[in-house]
Amino acid sequence: MKLDSVIIGETRERKPVYGTVKANFSIFEKNISSSGLLNMVITDWNSKQIVYQQKFQGNYVWKDTWASYKGDDRALNKQQLAMTKRRESLPPPPNALFAEFTKPIYNQLVDNISYFYNNY
């Protein structure tokens, strides 16, 4: 990154001195994807026949982004500078990832079971 016309100092008469500032800016991103599939089967107890079957899929992607730079921070905009203040986060534990991808599965499952038995 290079930014021209940045105040880099001032003269003895207190007039601004403009110059060019540079920085190398790097963005880092970490993604963890979790997913699952639930197969719901409703079987007639007497005949052992499958009455209804439906599969429900859930996905969740955890993302973390941060940045670093080398050079003069005046070459960065506010958003870039804010990203450099962030540090890499620890990913959520497996049980939290599981809970996140099962939320949409649970909602679909409850809706389908309710619909099936209300119309049975």
The pLDDT value given to residue 12: 87
The pLDDT value given to residue 13: 87
Domain span at 31: 2-118
How does pLDDT run across 76-99, given as a tens digit for each residue? 999 999 999 999 999 999 999 999
The pLDDT value given to residue 11: 83
The pLDDT value given to residue 2: 65
Q: What is the pTM of this model?
A: 0.70
Are 1 and 21 in contact by the 8 Å Cβ rule? The answer is no
Domain count, the chain: 1
Which segments in the chain show pLDDT lower than 50? none
